[in-house]
Amino acid sequence: MSKKRLFTGLQPSGTLHIGNYFGALKPFLDTYEEYDSHLMVADYHSLTTLKNSDELRRNTVDVVKDYLAAGVDPKKAVIFKQSSVPEHTELAWIFECLVSVKFLELAHAYKDKVAKGLEANAGLFNYPMLMAADILLYDTDIVPVGRDQQQHVEYAREAAKKFNLAYGDLFKEPTEKIVEGVGTVPGTDGQKMSKSYKNTIPLFGTKDEIQKAVMGIVTDSTGDRPENVYAIHKLFRTDAELEVIYEENKGKYKNLKEALLEDVEALVAPLREKRDSITDEMVAEVLKAGGEAARAEAAAKMSQVRQQIGII
């Protein structure tokens, strides 16, 4: 029997933070060897916000280095760039013709932007259908993501249903995998960790950068326990372990931040070292091989799509 299929993607919109790591990359890493696995760099998605070509080029290489340093073996997963497989944008268009404007208006990424009084570009509006194409082209069963992407996986299921109903069964309906306790990793201010809130702890930052972020965690002076520090610390230790540390250091916020810093460093230091040994050339090779493999799969699926919709 063939293996089930796992798929996830991250935008190359800057350095990854520990929210990306615990919410998506680690859940992928923990199980990817049991599946037929794909790990994508969502470069076309990042165009909805990023408009600097040098930065996009640099970020794309960087995010693949992050994947490799975190432990993804390119022999055991297809690592590729979304833009290497034009079938993604082609299929997105077909899905866009199947769903209504009303339905897309309900998507969080778009709704949040509009709620802030900002003008969204059409790419951001159609974003969930590109993500549906990413997932559905590879007959994906499971999509490890953070909670903020749950709705987008629901949209992918809806796109699959709509297509199957209109043209006959072709797409599998995927399921999101959101790991309890890490679905929404909090940032240094207690809100969801996100680059746009400037509250991140970088996964591959220098020791100084990580120290600055951890020591800058917002604490209020009312309780014995600094909740924002504790909430991040929970990613690294069990409640029982934390109970002891926080009891011993009651009211000593600086000590507690230093204890957290030590735990973050213990995770990051070996990854940082590994990352330094990965060259741009290695990344180029991984992306070339991954791009070819993904393209071959997507092309086969797309020719079925074209047949079913009646353009060939």
Binding interface with ligand TYM (CB under 6 A): 7-11, 19-20, 23-24, 42, 45, 131, 134-135, 143, 145-146, 148-149, 152, 183-185, 192-194
List phi, psi (to 5°) of 36.
Answer: -90, 105
Residue 202: which region, alpha, beta or left (left: phi > 0; alpha: psi -120 to 50)? beta
CB 231 within 8 A of CB 214: no
**Nearest-angstrom CA–CA distance, 18 and 12:** 15
Nearest approach, Cβ of residue 221 and ligand TYM (Å): 26
Among 113, 172, 234, 301, the one annotated catalytic: 113
Q: Is position 51 annotated as part of the catalytic site?
A: no
Residue 113 CB burial class (10 angstroms; 0-12, 13-18, ≥19) = middle
**Nearest-angstrom CA–CA distance, 211 and 218:** 14
Helix spans in 149-237 (H):
150-167, 207-215, 227-233
Nearest approach, Cβ of residue 133 and ligand TYM (Å): 9
Nearest approach, Cβ of residue 252 and ligand TYM (Å): 27
Among 65, 162, 195, 257, the one annotated catalytic: 195
**Nearest-angstrom CA–CA distance, 298 and 142:** 17
Q: Is position 113 annotated as part of the catalytic site?
A: yes
Please, which residue, 26 or 257, has the CB nearer to ligand TYM? 26
**Under DSSP, is residue 34 helix (H, G, I), strand (E, B) or coil?**
helix
Please, which residue, 11 or 60, has the CB nearer to ligand TYM? 11
CB 4 within 8 A of CB 141: yes
Kindly state the tokens that stand for 168: 């006959």
Closest CA to 149 of 312, 10, 258, 52: 10
Nearest approach, Cβ of residue 23 and ligand TYM (Å): 2
Nearest approach, Cβ of residue 123 and ligand TYM (Å): 12
Nearest approach, Cβ of residue 55 and ligand TYM (Å): 15
- Angle between helix 150-167 and helix 87-96 axes, rounded to 10 deg: 70
CB 71 within 8 A of CB 29: yes
At 201, which amino acid appears?
I
Please, which residue, 24 or 70, has the CB nearer to ligand TYM? 24
Please, which residue, 19 or 291, has the CB nearer to ligand TYM? 19
Kindly state the DSSP code that residue 121 receives in the 8-state scheme. Answer: P
Please, which residue, 83 or 255, has the CB nearer to ligand TYM? 83
Among 162, 177, 192, 257, the one annotated catalytic: 192
**Nearest-angstrom CA–CA distance, 107 and 155:** 9
Q: Is position 4 annotated as part of the catalytic site?
A: no
Please, which residue, 162 or 192, has the CB nearer to ligand TYM? 192
Active site residues: 113, 192, 195
